[in-house]
Amino acid sequence: MRSPEESTFSMRISVIGCGYLGAVHAASMAHLGHDVVGIDVDERKIALLSSGEAPFFEPGLPDVLASSIASGRLRFTTDFAAAAEADVHFVAVGTPQVADGDAADMRYVDAAFSTLLQHVKAGDVLVGKSTVPVGTAARLAEQVESTVDGATLAWNPEFLREGFAVKDTISPDRLVYGVPAGDAGQRAARILDEVYASAVATGTPVIVTDYATAELVKVSANAFLATKISFINAMAEIAEATGADVTQLADAIGHDARIGRRFLNAGVGFGGGCLPKDIRAFSARAKELGKGEALAFLSEVDKINLRRRDRVVDLVREEVGELAGARVAMLGLAFKPHSDDIRDSPALDVAMRLAEAGARVIATDPEAVESASRRAPQLEYAASAEEAVRDADVVVLLTEWPQFTGLDPAAVGELVAHRSIIDGRNCLDPAAWRAAEWTYRGLGR
């Protein structure tokens, strides 16, 4: 029997690209009852996924992987020819920032479509999931239509939150379909409704629109979230200069329904594989369109975000006096909790800056130590917070894992050389730490 989440329509689906987005999407689609093949050129990644092991940490993904593989509805391969068995093809490859600028690197998307088109047939629907510069879908649609008569391109942006990606795929808060005008677009939208039948049946909002709007939905959402975070961090700078408390400020303005409290947490700023590179690529695309002034504010958003990292380094220096030789305990390496993602991680960046300045940095994270140690071998790594803080001159908390926010100030105080803590996420109770005779420093507090 099917679970309540499973679709009553079983589609044959291929997912091109089995990184973070693609692996989650493939496993989730199979969990919903579809027959899915995940395709990637990385043999190691495919081997791990085929064995039911995720190449990265994402809560819930191992269970969905294992059950979907066991059911026979999910398999992985490096052979693009396997896509010929499918009728709907999701392209979920990365669009990193180019090495010599801010624009998105489209080589992987272009290569994926070029190879995939060798194996699709008339009537197939190709669906872009990658975050791309506006105008990409229209360009690729011409390629699809000229290569395979009767095939159609749709654009279906993702809105995943790392740490909640499986839930966000199975039960999305909205679905956006960018489709061409006319019968082909209507048919593509109907097919996507069948793919997401369980979500549609429960009333998930569905927005059917044109290619450009679908592309802009994703990048504009990320730009807005980044702006909101940098706004409250700009207020943190003012709060520090005036003696105000930015956390209470955020609580007060967050009660305004027009503003809301979410994403108004001042701290060391945003990172990860989406927001930083997406706002830069969005600005670069606006300049290409002759509309650079429309998004000029995103440059300041980026600068504010990076200044918060500088501020944490300054706070450490203020606490220890001289960075050279200081023993710094770094709690957190991933860019956010419930993830092992260290891409553009503020925590790892600050740790590396401190080490470059001569500090002895002992870092820990529940999931990101392995990936961080490959990226930053100059740091020392500990298996637990207790091990990291032993004999520390200062403790720096930069990823708000429950394991760190729940630490007992008195117990930790018995392990350190000096009771000094910098709360880079404003996630601790200052009164509790000060009561335990700690010097507490937050951002904007």
Please tell me whether residues 389 and 251 are part of one structural domain: yes
Render pLDDT for 248-282 as a digit per residue (tens, 0 to 9): 999 999 999 999 999 999 999 999 999 999 999 99
Last residue of a domain, one of 209, 230, 248: 209
| 204 & 242 share domain | no
Within this chain, do residues 259 and 319 fall inside the same structural domain, yes or no? Answer: yes
In the chain, the amino acid numbered 212 is A
State the Cα–Cα distance between residues 347 and 312, nearest whole angstrom.
10
Do 313 and 173 share a structural domain?
no
Question: From the CB of residue 424, how many other CB atoms can be counted at a distance below 10 Å?
Answer: 30
CA–CA separation, 33 and 27 (whole Å): 10
Q: What is the mean pLDDT of residues 372-388?
A: 98
| Domain span including residue 153 | 12-209
List, for residues 195-229, the tens digit of each pLDDT value.
999 999 999 999 999 999 999 999 999 999 999 99
Q: Are residues 243 and 366 in the same domain?
A: yes
d(CA 6, CA 14): 18
The residue out of 209, 231, 259 marking a domain boundary is: 209
- Residues near 157 by beta carbon (within 8 Å), at least 6 away in sequence: 129, 131, 176, 178, 214, 215, 217, 218
> Is there a single domain that holds both residue 234 and residue 380?
yes
How high is the pLDDT of residue 209? 98
Say what the pLDDT of residue 316 is: 98
Comparing 164 with 7, which gets the higher pLDDT?
164
Please say if 274 is a catalytic residue.
Answer: yes
Task: List C-alpha distances in Å: 176 to 200, 212, 237.
Answer: 12, 12, 37
Dist. CA 349–CA 376, nearest whole Å: 9
Q: Quickly count: other Cβ atoms within 10 Å of residue 125's Cβ.
A: 27
Q: Could you tell me the pLDDT band of residue 2, with boundaries at 50, 70 and 90?
A: very low
- Same-domain status, 304 and 428: yes
- Interatomic CA distance for residues 411 and 418, integer angstroms: 13
For residue 3, tell me if it sits in a domain.
no
Do residues 277 and 249 share a domain?
Answer: yes
Kindly tell me if the per-residue pLDDT of 1 is higher than 50: no
Please write the tens of the pLDDT for every residue from 45-54: 999 999 999 9
Sheet holding 439-442, edge to edge: 380-381, 360-364, 327-331, 394-397, 420-423, 439-442
pLDDT at 8: 55
d(C-alpha 89, C-alpha 87), whole Å? 7
Q: Rounded distance, CA 218 to CA 278, Å?
A: 9
Are residue 262 and residue 167 in the same domain, yes or no? no
Q: Nearest Cα to 90, choosing from 14, 187, 27?
A: 14
Residue 404 is assigned to a structural domain of this protein: yes
Q: Which of 192, 226, 264, 274 is catalytic?
A: 274
What the block records as the tokens of 343 is: 């891409």
Residue 26: pLDDT band with limits 50, 70, 90: very high
Residue 4, in any domain of the structure: no
Helix (H, G, I), strand (E, B) or coil at 203: coil
pLDDT in tens, 381-417: 999 999 999 999 999 999 999 999 999 999 999 999 9
What was the pLDDT predicted at 3?
52
Distances 31 to 90, 92, 159, 190 between C-alpha atoms, Å = 16, 18, 19, 20
Q: Is residue 6 assigned to a domain?
A: no
Residue where a domain stops, chosen among 209, 227, 252: 209
Q: What is the spatial distance between Cα 130 and Cα 158, in angstroms, rounded to a whole number?
A: 7
Instruction: Give me the numbers of helices (H) and strands (E) for the chain, helices first please.
Output: 18, 14
Q: What is the pLDDT of residue 5?
A: 61
> Domain with 58 in it: what CATH number?
3.40.50.720
Structural domains of the chain, count? 2
Whether the pLDDT of residue 90 is over 80: the answer is: yes
The predicted pLDDT at position 317 comes to 98
The verdict on 200 and 320 lying in the same domain is no
Q: What are phi and psi of 263, to 5 degrees?
A: 65, 20
Please indicate, yes or no, if residue 79 is contained in any of the structural domains: yes
Q: Are residues 205 and 257 in the same domain?
A: no
Residue 5 domain-assigned (yes or no) = no
As beta bridge partners, residue 423 has 397, 442
Instruction: Find the mean pLDDT for residues 106-115.
Output: 98
Q: Are residues 181 and 314 in the same domain?
A: no
In a domain, 7, yes or no: no
Amino acid at 257: A
Q: What is the pLDDT of residues 304-332, one digit of tens each?
A: 999 999 999 999 999 999 999 999 999 99
How far is the C-alpha of 421 from the C-alpha of 39, rounded, in Å?
A: 46
pLDDT of 232 reads 98
